[in-house]
């Protein structure tokens, strides 16, 4: 009797696995709280490492699948507006189009001003001038996120404009090419050269296109 009580006592203290663990086929490492990482077999450790590796791979794939569309949409949203000198705003409207196209494509005009010849539709980032006599779009001005068909971007230095369109007599802050149908406004600040170096200079801040003048 004493021997049986000793065995029962040992079993209740957890020194041995209950017989039910063997009968049900339970894993030794999960059933016995006294088993440590050192007692696990090499195969057990490999299974755990592989399981964690698969989980990390799945999480990484999900991260890429979510991040890639956001990156693409952000890149697309930040693409500059393209102005074709003497022709129009690509993807929007052309010079000579009816003035109604402005409101149809850009929405309700925040502010409007008129003089004897023009009605100016100001959208903060853009200003469209409509000829009051003909009702046609006469000029398009963009203040940010723009580029010209010849390769001038907002923020480019005056030297790049001169080398692209040709050297002409000019008086800052305006640089105009009436025969090409394009003018630029410049402001002093920090400009970036072709080699990536920065320096003080005059940079383009807005561009206006209109029908070329002979």
- pLDDT tens figures, 91-145: 999 999 999 999 899 988 778 899 999 999 999 999 999 999 999 999 999 999 9
More confident residue, 57 or 136: 136
Pairing relationship of beta strands 182-192 and 146-148 according to DSSP bridges: unpaired
Report pLDDT for 57: 62
Measure the CA–CA gap between 177 and 213, rounded to whole angstroms: 9
Same domain assignment for residues 136 and 200: yes
User: What is the average pLDDT across 74-102?
Assistant: 88
pLDDT band at 16 (very low <50, low <70, confident <90, very high): very low
CA 181 → CA 18, 30, 46, 96, 207, distances in Å? 93, 80, 71, 13, 11
> Which CA distances in Å does 191 have to 47, 155, 184, 187, 206?
58, 7, 15, 10, 15
63 shares a domain with 98: no
For residues 61 and 5, the model is more confident at 61
What confidence score (pLDDT) does residue 42 get?
Answer: 56
When pLDDT is averaged across residues 143-148 and rounded to a whole number, the result is 96
**Structural domains in the chain (count):** 2
Quote the pLDDT of residue 59: 63
Nearest to 209 by CA among 96, 105, 116: 96
Of 50, 73, 96, which residue constitutes the final position of a domain?
A: 73
Same domain, 119 and 140: yes
Q: Do 68 and 94 lie in a common domain?
A: no
Domain enclosing residue 28, as ranges: 2-73
Among 57, 73, 89, the domain-final residue is 73
Given 25, 46, 73, the domain boundary residue is 73
Neighbours of 148 (CB within 10 A): 24
- Phi, psi for residue 33 in degrees, rounded to 5: -70, -15
How many residues are listed for the chain in this entry?
214
Which tokens belong to 121?
A: 């539709």
Angle among Cα 11, 16, 19 to the nearest 5 degrees reads 80
Please state, rounded to an integer, the average pLDDT across all residues of the chain.
78
- Are 58 and 142 in the same domain? no
Question: From the centroid of its chain, how far is CA 205?
Answer: 21
DSSP state for residue 16 in the 8-state scheme: S
Torsions phi, psi of 34, nearest 5? -85, -10
Q: Which one, of 6, 55, 48, lies nearest residue 29 by Cα?
A: 48
Task: Report the percentage of the chain scoring pLDDT > 90.
Answer: 53
Contact present, 83 and 149 (Cβ < 8 Å): yes
Q: What gap in Å lies between CA 99 and CA 22, rounded to an integer?
A: 87
């Amino acid at each position: 009797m004493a021997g049986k009580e000793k065995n029962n006592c040992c079993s209740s203290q957890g020194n041995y696995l209950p017989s039910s663990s063997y009968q049900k086929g339970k894993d030794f490492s999960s059933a016995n709280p006294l088993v440590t990482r050192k007692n696990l077999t090499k195969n057990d450790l490999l299974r755990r490492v592989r399981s964690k590796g698969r989980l990390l791979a799945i999480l990484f794939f999900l991260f890429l699948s979510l991040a890639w569309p956001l990156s693409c949409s952000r890149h697309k949203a930040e693409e500059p507006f393209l102005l074709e000198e003497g022709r129009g705003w690509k993807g929007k409207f052309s010079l000579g189009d009816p003035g109604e196209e402005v409101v149809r494509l850009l929405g309700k005009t925040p502010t409007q001003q008129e003089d004897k010849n023009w009605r100016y539709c100001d959208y903060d980032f853009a200003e469209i001038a409509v000829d009051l006599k003909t009702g046609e779009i006469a000029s398009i001005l963009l203040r940010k996120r723009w580029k010209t068909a010849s390769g001038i971007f907002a923020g480019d230095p005056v030297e790049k404009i001169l080398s692209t369109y040709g050297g002409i007599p000019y008086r800052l802050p305006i640089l105009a090419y009436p025969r090409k149908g394009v003018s630029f406004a410049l402001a002093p600040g920090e400009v970036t050269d072709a080699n990536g170096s920065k320096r003080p200079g005059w940079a383009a801040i807005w561009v206006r296109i209109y029908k070329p003048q002979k």
